[in-house]
Structures are given as C-alpha cells and as structure tokens.
C-alpha cells in the first residue's frame, strides 16, 4: 500500500515539476516535450511490454492527427471531441492492422510497420490529397473553438490542457504496468511458450498492448493537431521512427518516466547549438548499443541504481 502510494505520488510530483518548469523554460519547449513524451510512451510500451519493435510508429501518430484534423476542418469545432475522434480512429486502425501483423516474426513486424508508415505518408500527401491538402497540410487553427471558454490553442492554456492529459496517461500506464495484465505482458516477452502452456492467449495480450500503444500515439497526434491547428504529412515521416526507438532506449525501455526524460533530452539536445550536440547520432547511437548490451534501463535505470546505492549507503550509516 505504501509502495503504491509512493509510485503514484511520483507521478504527481513529476507533473508539478513540469508545471513549475514553465517559470524557467519556454512554454513551447514544454508543450513539445509533453506531446513527444506521450508519443515516446507509446513506443516504449509497445517495446517494453509487448516486446514488439516497430519502425513505423509515426504512422499511428498521423492517424490520430489527421483524424482530428479532418474533424476540425470539415465537421465540428470542439477540440475535445476532435481528440476523442482521433483516439477512436487510432484504436480502430490498430485493431484492424494489429490483428494481421501481430503474428509476424519480430523483424517482419518491424519492417511491415515501416512499409505501412510509408504507405500512410503517401496516402496523406498524394492519394487522399483532395481531402488532406497534400504536402501543404491542413490549416484549421481558426476553426478551433474555445473549450469551456478557454482557447486551448494559446500556449499557456494548451500547457494545462496537455499536462492534464499527461497526468491521465501516466496514471493509466502505471496502473496497467502494475496490474496482472502488465505482469503477463512481461512474462510473455521472455517466455511465450510457458505462458501458452498455462493457457494464456498471447495473441490477445499483444494485440491489447498494440492497441493501447496506438491509442497513446494517436493522442499525441491529436494533441499536436489541436495545439498547432495544423497537420502535414511530414509528421508521419518514416525516417523519424529510428529516432523514436533511440529515445525509448535512452530513456529506459519499459520504464514509466523513461519516455519523459528521454524526450526532454532529445528536444533539449536539438535546441542547443553547441558543436558536440550537433553530432547527436554519435552519442545516441553509442549509448543505444551500450545500454542494450549491458541490459540497462537507460537513464531511468541509471537513476534507480544511483538512488538505491544512496539508500544502501544511508542504511550503512545508521
């Protein structure tokens, strides 16, 4: 009981820290971090709890973004409903696609996602250009109505809006990680055969992980759409998929806060114009290899180790 309270309070503390950070860093930076963090959480959950590596996650980001965009452009003006539409689109899409590709071997799965990503990108900029305005993207900033009187497209309002969503996502994900389902997922990653013998439906488990992950990715996309009032095909660039995987590994695969910390570092590193940071691939690539080979959990893992060492030292002093 005490432990669970501690874990959930960590989430509250993290939200508070981010909230207070607005006095130190720009709001646009924080908003970017929140959206990216939710997206990275989707990939993190997919890899960490589903054991599924995908090189096509930007596709699911785009599904949510474009669904929301189409709603706000053609139909309604309520941003909250726009986001709900985006989420629904993400779930339906994931159910359809997942049912077919989950069964593939891991390298095929990663690759088919990449292929679907490319096809999705193509649909947005060419085949469906009549609806999506092709490469120029869709502008609908002026069409977004205020929510309960508050205009969420303004940076400081969106900040609160997105922060609330982040809170919900963190709480929900933590709940799933702690649940029986989460335990089954972790077991399925390493010992599929054993679990099958025990009667668990591995396919259903992985499908649920896939759907939840797509849900998060769609949410990130929808938030992006509502924040900027603009979507374009380049959000779905397949080339970005590798970067997302790197962020997942760096932050700590399978951890709750890994994506958040990883996002802060990646966006922060890209904003800095120092010479060393410009060659982020060298550092990130090397870290990826080292982290995976040493079975590390990235930065969160490092932090945990430091904290437990600190705790052990404290105990020894007593």
Residues 6+ apart with CB under 8 A from 40: 244, 247, 248, 251, 259, 260, 262, 263
Strand partners, 139: 230
Distance CA 313, CA 318 (A): 9
Q: Exactly one of 19, 74, 75, 108 binds another protein (CB under 8 A); which one?
A: 108
Query: Binding of another protein at residue 208 (CB under 8 A)?
Result: no
The pair of structure tokens assigned to 190 is 């390493």
Query: Binding of another protein at residue 18 (CB under 8 A)?
Result: no
Interface of this chain with another protein, residues 48 to 87, rule: CB under 8 A: 51-53, 55
Q: Which stretch binds another protein (CB under 8 A): 64-72, 112-120, 169-177, 297-305?
A: 112-120
Nearest-5° Cα angle at 44, 122 to 280: 75
Interface of this chain with another protein, residues 230 to 289, rule: CB under 8 A: 238-239, 242, 245-246, 249, 279-289
Q: 252: phi > 0 → left, psi -120 to 50 → alpha, else beta; which?
A: left
Query: Binding of another protein at residue 46 (CB under 8 A)?
Result: no
* Rounded CA Rg of the chain: 20
Please, are residues 99 and 253 in contact by the beta-carbon 8 Å criterion?
Answer: no
CB-wise, 172 or 283, nearer to another protein?
283
| Number of residues forming the site for another protein (CB under 8 A) | 39
Please give the backbone phi and psi of residue 190, each rounded to the nearest 5 degrees, phi first. -100, -30
| Least gap, CB of 223 to another protein (angstroms) | 27
CA nearest to 218, candidates 92, 53, 52: 92
Q: Exactly one of 88, 110, 171, 303 binds another protein (CB under 8 A); which one?
A: 110
Q: Exactly one of 34, 37, 46, 114 binds another protein (CB under 8 A); which one?
A: 114
CB-wise, 154 or 290, nearer to another protein?
290
Query: Binding of another protein at residue 99 (CB under 8 A)?
Result: no
| Least gap, CB of 198 to another protein (angstroms) | 14
Query: Binding of another protein at residue 115 (CB under 8 A)?
Result: yes
| Least gap, CB of 54 to another protein (angstroms) | 10
Instruction: Give the binding site for another protein (CB under 8 A).
Output: 47, 51-53, 55, 104-108, 110-112, 114-116, 118-119, 122, 126, 238-239, 242, 245-246, 249, 279-289, 292-293
């Amino acid at each position: 009981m005490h432990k669970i309270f501690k874990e959930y309070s960590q989430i509250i503390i993290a939200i508070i820290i981010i909230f207070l950070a607005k006095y130190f860093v720009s709001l646009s930076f924080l908003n970017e971090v929140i959206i990216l963090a939710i997206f990275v959480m989707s990939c993190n959950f997919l890899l960490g709890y589903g054991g599924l590596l995908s090189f096509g996650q930007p596709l699911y980001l785009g599904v949510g973004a474009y669904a929301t965009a189409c709603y706000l452009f053609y139909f309604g003006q309520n941003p909250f409903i726009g986001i709900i539409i985006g989420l629904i689109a993400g779930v339906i899409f994931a159910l359809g696609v997942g049912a077919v590709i989950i069964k593939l071997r891991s390298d095929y799965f990663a690759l088919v996602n990449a292929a679907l990503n490319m096809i999705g990108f193509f649909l947005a900029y060419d085949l469906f250009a009549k609806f999506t305005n092709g490469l120029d993207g869709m502008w609908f900033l002026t069409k977004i109505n205020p929510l309960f009187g508050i205009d969420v497209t303004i940076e400081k309002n969106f900040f609160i809006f997105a922060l609330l969503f982040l809170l919900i996502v963190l709480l929900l994900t933590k709940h799933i990680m702690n649940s029986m389902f989460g335990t089954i997922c972790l077991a399925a990653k390493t010992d599929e055969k054993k679990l099958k013998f025990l009667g668990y439906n591995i396919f259903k488990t992985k499908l649920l992980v896939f759907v939840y992950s797509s849900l998060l990715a769609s949410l990130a996309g929808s938030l992006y759409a509502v924040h900027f009032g603009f979507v374009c095909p380049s959000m779905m660039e397949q080339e970005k998929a590798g970067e997302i995987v790197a962020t997942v590994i760096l932050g700590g695969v399978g951890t709750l806060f890994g994506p958040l910390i990883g996002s802060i570092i990646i966006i922060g590193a890209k904003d800095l114009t120092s010479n060393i940071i410009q060659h982020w691939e060298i550092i990130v690539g090397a870290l990826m290899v080292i982290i995976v080979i040493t079975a590390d959990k990235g930065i969160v893992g490092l932090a945990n180790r430091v904290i437990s060492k600190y705790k052990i030292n404290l105990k020894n002093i007593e």
